[in-house]
């Protein structure tokens, strides 16, 4: 009888464990489902081949360039004819409803969005940091190629900004010189954090709904906020800084990279991967992928969090050191003195941007050749 009484009083061990609440709320607002979706997307992107990575990155920057140039045309025209405030409002609305919307809905690859999506695949253990480094690197090279090439086609080839000294040409020069010559590294770093936090919000929002109109609004609103306030986005700057040089701005390609893209890129990674991606991964219960249709249940552990912080930090340092920092130092302090290039003198050259593109592709291929696994594994089932 005592044994029977004890049996009724004490629930089975499995039932007792199931009644214990998890340390983290893993199903709140379907956040865990969104994290798993973005994790699957992130690991799929690490499987791109070199041509795919370059071309998808090229397309994304081209879309951003068209949107940014349209926005600056609207801002300069409306500000001159009506009011600066109205010009800023209309230009930010035009950029927000076209830039990232085109990137996502048309199907291209923006590395600043991948700072969150591929970062989440790393946190969930579906990708290794070396695989994510490959995807970021090869996509980044496509971004740069489109930035300087499309900039030349718009400013010089098509002459869409008008003659030297026109309102739009002067605006492009002013935008570039402010970004390179006037803002400090710490200002650019924090502006980079805030810009890509908003961009990552747009990417996150795109996968919170299946309705096209809903996607446009959830993408467009945070992107419009970023553009209106004037935060710093490294891939938009690939076009903006190149356009400034083609318009006659007083800085060199090396200065553009060292003075602007180093702190902005670092800030962009922190904003997307840490403040958006890692926050939601944690809120979702730190899910860890164990195999097809199998996730660590009911949630990950703080050991998983420590590992994620270690891997994301390693990835961040490798990428920033390999791409913007190395490029800035190499070209500003090595190539440009050798070529006799200085600010405002001989900066409109093709040698440096093409050399930078070759460097970015070469380093990405080195990552693929020496750091990636020899056998490309099948993309895991979601």
Quick one: pLDDT at residue 300? 86
List residues bridging with 291 in a β-sheet: 294
What the block records as the tokens of 99 is: 């830039």
8 A C-beta contact, residue 347 and residue 309: no
**H-type helices in 230-380, by residue range?**
234-247, 253-256, 262-269, 279-283, 302-320, 326-330, 336-339, 351-370
Separation CA 381–CA 177 (nearest Å): 48
**H-type helices in 124-166, by residue range?**
129-152
Can you tell me the mean pLDDT for 79-105? 92
Given the structure tokens 């390609």, which residue do they identify? 253
List residues bridging with 295 in a β-sheet: 289
For residue 27, what pLDDT band results from cuts at 50, 70 and 90?
low
* Count of alpha carbons within 13 angstroms of residue 86, beta-carbon side: 7
pLDDT of residue 26 exceeding 80, the answer is no
List residues bridging with 211 in a β-sheet: none
Quick one: pLDDT at residue 24? 58
What residue segments make up the domains of the chain, in order of their start?
35-370
Q: Which fold has domain 35-370?
A: Glycerol uptake facilitator protein (1.20.1080)
> Phi and psi for 216 in degrees, rounded to 5?
-60, -45
8 A C-beta contact, residue 117 and residue 232: no
Q: 9-23, 176-190, 290-304: which range is least confident on average? A: 9-23
pTM, entire model: 0.90
Query: Residue length, the chain?
Result: 382
* Count of alpha carbons within 13 angstroms of residue 128, beta-carbon side: 9
For residue 23, what pLDDT band results from cuts at 50, 70 and 90?
low
Quick one: pLDDT at residue 373? 63
Q: Which helix (H) or strand (E) holds 294?
A: strand 294-295
- ω before 298 within 30° of 0 (cis)? yes
Percent of residues, the chain, with pLDDT higher than 90 = 81
pLDDT tens, position by position, 244-282: 999 999 999 999 999 999 999 999 999 999 999 999 999
Count of beta carbons in the 10 Å neighbourhood of residue 149 = 21
Separation CA 26–CA 300 (nearest Å): 10
């Amino acid at each position: 009888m005592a044994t029977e009484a004890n049996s009724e009083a004490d629930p089975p061990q499995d039932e007792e464990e199931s009644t214990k609440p998890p340390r983290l709320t893993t199903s709140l607002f379907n956040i865990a489902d969104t994290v798993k979706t973005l994790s699957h997307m992130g690991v799929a992107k690490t499987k791109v081949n070199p041509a795919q990575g370059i071309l998808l990155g090229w397309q994304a920057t081209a879309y951003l360039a068209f949107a940014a140039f349209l926005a600056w045309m609207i801002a300069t025209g409306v500000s001159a004819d009506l009011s600066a405030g109205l010009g800023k409002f209309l230009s930010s609305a035009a950029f927000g409803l076209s830039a990232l919307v085109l990137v996502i809905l048309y199907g291209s690859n923006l590395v600043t969005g991948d700072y969150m999506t591929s970062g989440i695949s790393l946190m969930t253990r579906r990708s290794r940091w070396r695989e994510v480094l490959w995807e970021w690197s090869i996509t980044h090279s496509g971004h740069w190629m489109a930035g300087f090439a499309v900039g030349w086609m718009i400013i010089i080839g098509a002459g869409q900004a008008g003659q030297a000294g026109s309102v739009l040409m002067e605006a492009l020069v002013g935008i570039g010189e402010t970004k390179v010559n006037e803002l400090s590294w710490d200002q650019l770093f924090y502006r980079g954090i805030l810009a890509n936090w908003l961009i990552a919000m747009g990417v996150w929002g795109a996968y919170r709904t299946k309705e096209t109109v809903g996607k446009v609004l959830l993408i467009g609103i945070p992107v419009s906020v970023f553009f209106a306030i004037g935060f710093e986005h490294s891939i938009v700057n690939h076009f903006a800084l190149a356009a400034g040089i083609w318009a006659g701005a007083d800085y060199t390609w090396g200065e553009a990279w060292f003075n602007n893209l180093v702190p902005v890129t670092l800030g962009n990674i922190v904003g997307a991967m840490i403040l958006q991606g890692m926050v939601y991964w944690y809120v979702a219960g730190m899910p860890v992928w164990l195999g097809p249709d199998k996730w660590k249940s009911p949630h990950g552990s703080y050991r998983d969090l420590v590992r994620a912080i270690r891997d994301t930090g390693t990835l961040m340092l490798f990428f920033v050191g390999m791409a913007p920092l190395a490029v800035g130092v190499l070209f500003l302090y090595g190539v440009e003195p050798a070529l006799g290039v200085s600010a405002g003198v001989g900066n409109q050259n093709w040698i440096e941007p093409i050399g930078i593109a070759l460097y970015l592709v070469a380093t990405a291929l080195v990552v693929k050749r020496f750091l990636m696994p020899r056998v490309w594994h099948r993309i895991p089932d979601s």
